[in-house]
Amino acid sequence: MELEDLKKNWSVMEERLGRLEMENRKLLHRAVDSKVKQMRQRLLLRLTFIVFLLPMLLWQITRQNEFEFSPLTWGLVSLFLVTILIRQCTWAYLLNRIDCNRMAVREVCLAEARFRQSFKMGIAVSVLLAIPMLASMIGDMIRFGNPYIVYGAWTGLAIGLILGLRLFFRAWGGVKELREAIEELG
């Protein structure tokens, strides 16, 4: 009698354990999906800024007839904006490829690794393109002859650098959180 009770209790415990493991796996999948969704929303917000607000800012700059930027500056600005747009679209595409419900854990890990690598490369290329663009802009502003424009440019550069670093570390934190959530799957 005791042996049969033990077997019965054992099978009940195995069944409970199986259900708990399935619930745990579902919670981990939801956590990864939540991180991916959060990163997609941030990307969409940045993409909206690039597509809608930046052209309005550039249009406002071109309306000032007394201050004309050189063709080199406009070329570097255009190259920078196109690179940022490509970077954001690539990140959105790679984030869409991370799907726990359709992929094995190994595939999810590989997709996350591709996204992380693209993130690092995208940031590095953006910084490398921003340096000559900003140098050309400040050079043109010096040529305008108004010292207050140059002071404003340096102040804007300092504030932009601080905000850019804050955004970078926040985004990098999101990438790290996504990686940790995916590592818990395995």
- Number of folded domains in the chain? 1
The pLDDT mean for the chain works out to 84
What tokens appear for 109 in the block? Answer: 């890990």
**pLDDT tens track for 5-31:** 777 888 888 888 888 888 877 887 788
Selection from 24, 52, 46 nearest residue 95 by Cα: 46
What Å distances lie between residue 71 and 23, 62, 77, 140, CA to CA?
A: 60, 12, 10, 10
Domain that includes residue 43, residue range: 2-185
Least confident of 1-5, 26-30, 45-49, 67-71: 1-5
pLDDT in tens, 90-123: 988 988 888 877 777 788 888 888 989 999 999 9
Compute how many other C-beta atoms are within 10 angstroms of the C-beta atom of residue 53.
10
With a pLDDT cut of 90, the percent of the chain lying above it is 20
Task: Compute the distance between CA of residue 99 and CA of residue 96 in angstroms, rounded to an integer.
Answer: 7
Which pLDDT value is given to residue 20?
81
User: Is-contact 109 182, C-beta < 8 A?
Assistant: yes
Q: Which residues have a Cβ under 8 Å from the Cβ of 89 and sit 6 or more positions away?
A: 47
pLDDT tens, position by position, 143-157 = 888 888 889 889 989
